[in-house]
Amino acid sequence: MNRAPVELVVLCSALLVIAGCTTATSENRGAPASRSPRAAGTATPATCSVTEPTRTGVPADVAEQGYGDVFGEGRLWVGAWWTDGENLDQVRSKGLADEEYPYREKYPTWTVQHGEVSAAAGAPQVSVTRVDTPGQGDGGVGGYASARQDDTTVFHWWPTVVGFSENGCWRVTETVGEDSITYVVRI
């Protein structure tokens, strides 16, 4: 029996598995990075297609929270912490060291009801999964928080934390009720 076809099938199968772990959008596939404005800020290996922040359809009440870049849809939104290069460098440098999850980040999650940030849907659930190889991740949400900036501006959010056991490609999924969002980040 000729081993070359068997090895080719194994190699092709492995490549399909790796390609299936990305979250690249169809508009970016096959386009060189220099022609794709979305690829410029998050250049990573093809096996880790980092999620871009949401540019349109952000609820006004979420935008008014003053976080900057956000990601989400419908009733669930998060601060896109992975788009801030300085912040991401701190996470990658074990700035918040912990033995089990030395790479950590805290960020806001917003649940939206009728266009307004609200706690009515309850606290989101967070899961963290390594995409490129086995690894351990952790995520959690604290109690609904509020802060007053002045007499008229009040911010609301779910304090969220994610932890990663090592550098690599990670998928974070947040779920509240039947709504779910997923983002991919390279630590």
| Each residue's pLDDT tens digit, 96-113 | 667 889 999 999 999 999
pLDDT at site 95: 58
Q: For residue 16, is pLDDT > 70?
A: no
Given pLDDT bands bounded at 50, 70 and 90, which one contains residue 57?
very high
Q: What is the mean pLDDT of residues 138-161?
A: 91
Cβ-based neighbour number of residue 76 at 10 Å: 21
- Domains contained in the chain, number: 1
Whether 149 has a pLDDT exceeding 50, the answer reads yes
Domain holding 164, by residue range, is 3-186
In order, the DSSP letters of the chain are --HHHHHHHHHHHHHHHHHHT----TTTTT--GGG-TTTGGG---TT--PPPPP-S---HHHHTT--SSEEEETTEEEE-GGG-HHHHHHHHTTTT--SS--EEEEEEEEEEETTEE-STT-PPEEEEEESSS---EEEEE---EEEESSSS-EEEEEEEEEEESSSSEEEEEEEETTEEEEEEEE-
- Return d(Cα 136, Cα 148) in angstroms, integer: 36
Percentage of residues of the chain with pLDDT beyond 70: 74
With tokens 């995520």, the residue in question is 139
Reading the block at residue 109, the tokens are 């999650």
The closest of 139, 187, 130 to 163, measured between CA atoms, is 139
Query: Residue range 121-126: average pLDDT?
Result: 96
- Taking the C-alpha atoms of residue 174 and residue 48, their distance in angstroms, rounded to an integer, is 19
Q: Is the pLDDT of residue 36 over 90?
A: no
